Amino acid sequence: MMTTMKHAAYSLFTLTVAAFVLHALMALVVGAQFLAANSLLASILPYPNGAGMVAAWWRGALISGILGGGLILAADAAPQAVDSRRWRRGFLIWRALVVAVPLCWLLDIPLIAGLEATMGGVVLAAGAALWRVWGAASASFEGTLRLVWTAGAACIGSGLILHACAPLLTSSFARQTALSALADALSGQIGLSLTAVALAFWQLHRISNLTPAWAARGAAVCAGVLVVAGAWLALPALYPLGAADGVRMLGGLGVGIAPIAAIMVAAHAHRALVDRNASATLAGYWIALGVVLWLLGVGVVGAFGTLPALAVWTAGTPLAALSASWSSAGAAAIILGMINQAMAEARGQNRRITGLLPFWLIAAGWLGSGAAMGMAGVVQVMTERALGVAYLDAQRLIAPLGCLGLIGGLMTVLGIGVYALGFVVRRVVLPNAVGKG
Amino acid sequence: MRRAQVFFGICLSIALLLGIGALLTIPDATNLSVGASSTSLAVDSRVANDDSPNTVDGFAVWQSNACAGCHTLLGAGGGYASDLTRIVARHGADELRAVLRHELAAPSLIAATNARIMPRLGLTRGEIEALIAFLSSVSASAPLFPPQPLIETAIQTGLVAADPFDAVSTPVERGRRSFGSAPANCASCHSLEPDSIIVGPSLAGVAVRALTRVPGQSATTYLRNSILYPSDYLVPGYADAMAKNLGGMLTTDQIDDVIAFLLTLG
């Protein structure tokens, strides 16, 4: 049965897949900067604008997936709730924003901050609307997922608005930079992780024999430790800005907190994945990938990055950005799993929607390009920071690793391309489905 | 299950309080710029004192000209041109002013093999001063970024011998070596003996002459310009025969070393 809420979710998933494809293609184009410094590409597409587009499409894909997943969770928990075509129309604004923001980056139109604040507003409104539809708070499985998902959506929305409004709140460079870093952590490390945990536990419950009570407790506990770890991972961005000694000392505790959070999530996922039921889809693979990326991004790179003695060397290098990159990729993997699971259920055929080929290609692409990014960070620290090589000379030394990252980018493009193909070929036939709910 | 939800709520509260608390400890860069010269950061006292233009205006100039599209501050930004966090402390306000007025090419641009070109921004005098004040304040607000290179620390603390491979330690000594060896080979055309002409003019006493060659230019600026743009100012009576690609052959540090050496030829 395809309710209109699920129909709206399906539209958002379509947008998610399209944005992932565009992001992967654009990331490959921007990554080509390492091939030739004076390429024709550089004159056609200024790289800073291209990098902005890449980030905008990534954000658009992630949030579209989160919103679509939230609708599925709400429709599943409260099938009797208000279910009208307004859902579909309501997300027209969102779709327009996902298209408009990258275009503004490309054309250098100074509307980006305003549009991104609007994006945050839409996410907040969606969270509030789903909170209402979902019903009263309860100590149930659905109630716990609702709590975690809406808290995550609120963090994403607030983070986006805060980031866009930072220049209005303070004219000081240091405070503006600190505010933007914390806003990014609020929307990325915290909000994205929370919503992804809610989607992950919904999938784990669907594909395993776990009881709802166990899954609900697991979701709340994992969300709690991840949110604390996310806050700790945001602190290193403040170290170079003259953060107080107390903050630096407190931040150092992250080296213990972040791995505990990542291991707790991994342990819960493992418990579910070893006890899969007969109707399990490929969602389990994607959750496993998400957990591995969180283990690496939060539990290893992020944890060591919180040490003030280490962070002072890695600040502003690709190594410092790797934690956020891998943990957002972990959330993306969970969203791709959610699409797989939700589409299999919508079709009424519990079969592979997108196959294993895209899974392995995307996993290799994300892990490979992340590893290249990490190595580039190490080279920059060793040359520029330790030996005192000039900044641009160090960048030249990093360039071959950038080319290595391009191979990862190419695998991601192929993987997401095959995923999109599977998504289109095994699509839900909407004209027959709409209105039957 | 309810207890798990309460645990989640407590964790969320801790995270938000931690973020807000940490933000409140960040000092205001606008205030830091005042009196920055009294710190040990070697910030130019002429641009970071009470009379300096407001750093807020400089930040506005930075943003309106999309400087972060190419440059980085604290490592964040485009990454297509130099990190400017410590630019004022390292190169001084005079040199930065000359670059922004297009009187001097940015050394890092010349040294890089890839010819990324700094656009002509057409900044007014006031905007340039505001931008320099802003960059001074950034330098002051990030005293630990980037850390001093390990090798320099090791040399200063005596843990390792300075440049153990060829026993060259100070910039002047390194510059003397670059002056007489490849790839620059300056000594093959310029003598260091007074009135001794090989191809180009003798550089004996050049530190004194450089001060007055071009009105308004410091000796350092004149020497750097002469290395990077030898045709810009020709000593009367000499042909325009000097190599034009020294900026591509030498690194920024090597050029700085050669200048340090030439400034000893008083």
- Nearest-Cα distance to chain A for B191, in Å, is 30
pLDDT at B243 over 80: no
For the segment A65-81, what is each residue's pLDDT rounded down to a tens digit? 999 999 888 887 776 66
Between chains, do B146 and A250 touch, taking CB under 8 Å as contact?
no
Residue B141's pLDDT band, with cuts at 50, 70 and 90, is: confident
Residue B236's pLDDT band, with cuts at 50, 70 and 90, is: confident
Note whether B105 contacts A: Cβ–Cβ < 8 A: no
Chain A residues whose CB is inside 8 A of the B145 CB are 240, 312, 315-316
Chain A residues whose CB is inside 8 A of the B81 CB are 392
Between chains, do A317 and B75 touch, taking CB under 8 Å as contact?
yes
Between chains, do B149 and A395 touch, taking CB under 8 Å as contact?
no
For the segment B167-221, what is each residue's pLDDT rounded down to a tens digit? 446 788 888 877 876 677 787 678 787 777 777 888 888 888 888 888 888 888 8
For the segment A320-348, what is each residue's pLDDT rounded down to a tens digit? 889 999 999 999 999 999 999 888 887 77
pLDDT of residue B51: 39
* Rounded alpha-carbon distances, angstroms, from residue A269 to A62, A431, B163: 21, 37, 53
Between chains, do A243 and B26 touch, taking CB under 8 Å as contact?
yes
Q: Give the residue from A122, B53, A100 showing the smallest Cα distance to B61.
A: B53
Residue B53's pLDDT band, with cuts at 50, 70 and 90, is: low
CB-based contact A423:A58 (threshold 8 Å): no
pLDDT at B115 over 70: no
Note whether B108 contacts A: Cβ–Cβ < 8 A: yes
Report the DSSP pairing between strands B72-73 and B76-77: antiparallel
CB-based contact B22:A247 (threshold 8 Å): yes
Window 61-120 of A: residues touching B by CB (8 A cutoff) are: none
Window 30-69 of B: residues touching A by CB (8 A cutoff) are: 30, 32, 55-56, 59, 63, 66, 69
Nearest to A312 among B26, B27, B144 (CB): B144
Sequence-separated (6 or more) residues with CB below 8 Å from residue A164: A113, A114, A116, A117, A120
The mean per-residue pLDDT over the stretch A40-65 comes to: 79
Chain A residues whose CB is inside 8 A of the B82 CB are 390-392
Q: Give the residue from B121, B136, B120, B142 showing the smallest Cα distance to B53.
A: B136
More confident residue, A342 or B118: A342
For the segment A146-178, what is each residue's pLDDT rounded down to a tens digit? 889 999 999 999 999 999 988 888 877 888 888
pLDDT of residue B83: 82
pLDDT of residue A265: 93
B206 CB neighbour count, 10 Å cutoff: 22
Nearest to A220 among B8, B66, B76 (CB): B8
Angle of the A283-294 helix axis to the A193-207 helix axis, nearest 10: 140
pLDDT of residue A58: 94
Note whether A169 contacts B: Cβ–Cβ < 8 A: no
Closest chain A CA to residue B134 = A173
Q: Give the residue from B120, B26, B246, B76 showing the smallest Cα distance to A242.
A: B26
pLDDT of residue A196: 95
Chain A residues whose CB is inside 8 A of the B136 CB are none
Note whether B193 contacts A: Cβ–Cβ < 8 A: no
pLDDT of residue B66: 78
